Amino acid sequence: MCTPHPANRFLGLIRHNRRVLPRYRIRQVINYINLSTPLGLLVGVLGRAKISHEKDGLFVAEQCRLMLPDAGAFTIGNVVITGQTIARLQGFFPEILDHEAAHSSQWAWLGPLFLPLYVIWMGWSMLRTGNRATRNYLERWAGLKRGGYE
Ligand SMILES: [Zn+2]
């Protein structure tokens, strides 16, 4: 089997184009421009993940070795990254992709502010409830139940 050079694989993923509804196309373009999607793809390639296209211009990067195998998913730009497979996650949380898609939209709204704001809200939530999601505004916006949170 021939494995493409990581840099070519990365560029090939970026070049790939697919029919996407206009509202998701806007998110897709913004997340390329703010560099969050390239960053997410880079994390996926570095973690030797299996990267594939999902609905609405999203990518999934599965079995990423930079993630704990039993952890959930984490989204950077349009890339949903997980140490396991999305199918397995969906077995527990059927709406997990909708939850992660909301995080992708948050990246489009917030750009590079996403990460610091996420950390601040997570700290606030930990202080208030001892749980990283319950009072985390970005998790509430994405839907706590859809994300597998109480
Ligand atoms: Zn979430």
Ligand 1 midpoint to CA 11 (Å): 28
Query: Which residue do the tokens 């999607």 mark?
Result: 37
Grade residue 69 by pLDDT with cuts at 50, 70 and 90.
confident
**Domain with 26 in it:** 6-142
- 108: in domain: yes
Q: 1 CA to middle of ligand 1, Å? A: 36
Q: 9 CA to middle of ligand 1, Å?
A: 28
Global pTM reads: 0.89
Q: Considering only 6-10, 51-55, 80-84, 104-108, which range has the smallest mean pLDDT?
A: 6-10
Which DSSP string corresponds to the chain? -PPPPHHHHHHHHHH------HHHHHHHHHHHHTSHHHHHHHHHHHTT-EEEE-GGG-EEEES-TTS-TTS-EEEETTEEEESS-HHHHHHH-TTHHHHHHHHHHHHHHHGGGHHHHHHHHHHHHHHHHSSTTTT-HHHHHH-TTTTT--
What does the pLDDT look like over 120-148, one tens digit per residue? Answer: 999 999 999 999 999 999 999 999 999 98
Ligand 1 mean position to 144 CA, how many Å? 7
Helices (H) and strands (E) in the chain, counts: 7, 4
Is residue 49 domain-resident? yes
85-108 tens-digit pLDDT:
999 999 999 999 999 999 999 999
CA 120 / ligand 1 centre spacing (Å)? 14
Residue 150 located in a structural domain = no
**Rg (Cα) of the chain, in Å, rounded?**
15
* Number of domains composing the chain: 1
Q: Give percent above pLDDT 90 in the chain.
A: 79
